[in-house]
Amino acid sequence: METLLEPTVADTVCEDRSDRYCVIGAGAAGLTAAKNLLEYGIAVDVIERASDVGGTWNPGCPTSAAYPSIHLITSKPFIRYTDFPIPDDYPTYLGQRHIMSYLRSYADHFGVREHIEFDSSVESVDRVDGGPEWIVRVRTADGVSERRYGGLVIANGHNWSPRQPELPGVFHGLTMHSADYKGQDVLRGKRVLVVGAGTSGCDIAVESCQSAAQTFLSVRRGNYIWPKYMFGIPTDAYYELVLKFHMPRPLVRAMGKPLLRLNSPGNPLRFGLPRPEHKLLEEHFVMNSTLLYHLGHGEIGVKPDIVELCGDRVRFADGSTEQIDVIVYATGYRQAEFPFIDRKHLNWSDGPIPELHLHAFHPEYDNLFVIGYVQISTGTWPIMDYQSQIMARYLHLLKTDPRRAARFRAAKANPVHGPELNGGIDFYRSERHWLQVEHVSYRKRLRKLAKQLAVAPVVHTPR
């Protein structure tokens, strides 16, 4: 009996789609990238591995970190796309179902959904020999196909490859990364250890303590824990105001600490949390209004670093041990993962991340863009929107008015990136800050560029 084998790439015919761009990912970045390209008459294929839009916010996506009770830490005014308001009846801080509803509405309103190929994934990308086009290998239910595209937009995000510590010893209980956490049912009645005190770790620890038999939070170093509201106003509104008026950093820090104390249940040191090693503003925000409340009620125990896994127990740096059933590693994500494309195509030398102009624009290629590859202390969706506006307008002007496009081409040939975008803030040296920028000055740069490249859209969508 003859065995039927799945066709290999070598057996396939390369389909010519050089009249359009391939957008990798239909999350928040991919949607606005496709929307802006379409607005300037640039055809797109959006490749999405899940069966719906949303990326990391879509619980059906294989790399999603969403769970039912998750909420944004950015309030409505600072998370919305630039031309698509969030409905008034949505809460100040959107939850997972509101996020998905908003992203679906955006995709439908601007006609992006019909250009998305769901349940598909990009296997690899390479440059055409002797030419500027891209060969993209796409896996669908029917196998692998090979396509030639005129341009490429990488918009698959950077919070999808979990980083998990290597610890000595063996643990006999259940372990998971926060990316795999889907709700507190798995913690119910268990002795739970959450490792990492970023926003995700704090949120999961708070949720755990309401159903677990006991909850511990392992904290390696101290953070400033900000509430979501101060004096009844969303905290990020204060932060935006401070940065907008360029208040001196020493003054901001002098004012920030008293404000934090006034809006906090007490000094975090009283609850067992370590003192932060960094100055205020030098670390990505940790936003949680209830962690200190639960610490104060003894519902969460604070522990230092893990030094050894001991079967059904865990030993900590202070010499103490605890019996543990479940460990949740809220230890972040690798920030430099592009498994489908060779580093040589990303202007990547010896640094930890690619050297792209403003973290988005290739200094040499005019048909390769990375949208959303940036870390900020507020909402990323409008930032992605501005990046996409610049991309689409630049591509349009390359064809219609090359002289206007030449200025931006010259600028991106000498990329501004990394510490040049920190707005004078010396961010704490950690992997999560490789992509960190001071968002007000960064956003100002993007707005200025978008204005310089302003040109009327080719395709008009009802607003």
Sorted by where each starts, the structural domains of the chain and their CATH numbers stand as 10-161+334-452 (3.50.50.60), 169-227+264-329 (3.50.50.60)
Q: For residue 395, what pLDDT is reported? A: 98
CB 308 within 8 A of CB 169: yes
Residues near 297 by beta carbon (within 8 Å), at least 6 away in sequence: none
Q: For residue 245, what pLDDT is reported? A: 72
Average pLDDT over residues 240-253: 74
Q: For residue 2, what pLDDT is reported? A: 40
| Burial label, 259 (beta-carbon count in 10 A; 0-12, 13-18, 19+) | middle
Q: Which of 166-170, 183-187, 220-224 has the lowest mean pLDDT?
A: 220-224
Beta bridge partners of 43: 20
Query: Comparing C-alpha atoms, which of 29, 25, 46 is closest to residue 380?
Result: 29
* 417 phi, psi to nearest 5 deg: -160, 175
* 439/236 Cα distance (integer angstroms): 12
Q: For residue 463, what pLDDT is reported? A: 56
Q: Is 220 left (phi over 0), alpha (psi -120 to 50) or beta?
A: alpha
* 192/322 Cα distance (integer angstroms): 10
* 453/386 Cα distance (integer angstroms): 11
* 329/163 Cα distance (integer angstroms): 9
**Across the chain, what does the average pLDDT equal?**
91
CB 83 within 8 A of CB 105: no
CB 133 within 8 A of CB 149: yes
Residue 286 has pLDDT above 90, yes or no: no
* 301/298 Cα distance (integer angstroms): 7
Question: How does pLDDT run across 386-434, given as a tens digit for each residue?
Answer: 999 999 999 999 999 999 999 999 999 999 887 777 777 767 677 676 7
Burial code of 314-345, b = ≥16 C-beta within 10 A, e = fewer? Answer: bbbeeeeebebbbbbbbbbbebbebebbeeeb
State the Rg of the chain over Cα.
Answer: 23
CA distances in angstroms from 145 to 11, 101, 155, 186, listed in the order given: 9, 32, 20, 39
**Helix crossing, 96-109 with 28-39: angle to 10°?**
20
Question: How does pLDDT run across 295-340, given as a tens digit for each residue?
Answer: 999 999 999 999 999 999 999 999 999 999 999 999 999 887 899 9
Query: Which residue type is seen at 123?
Result: E
Query: Comparing C-alpha atoms, which of 51, 18, 41, 46 is closest to residue 30?
Result: 46
Residue 212 token pair? 């677990």
Q: Is 424 left (phi over 0), alpha (psi -120 to 50) or beta?
A: left
Q: For residue 7, what pLDDT is reported? A: 45
Q: For residue 462, what pLDDT is reported? A: 58
Residue 461 has pLDDT above 80, yes or no: no
Q: For residue 4, what pLDDT is reported? A: 42
* 401/184 Cα distance (integer angstroms): 56
Q: For residue 266, what pLDDT is reported? A: 67
Torsion of CA 394, 398, 403, 406, to 10 degrees: 60
Question: How does pLDDT run across 27-39, given as a tens digit for each residue?
Answer: 999 999 999 999 9
* 196/221 Cα distance (integer angstroms): 9
Q: For residue 10, what pLDDT is reported? A: 42
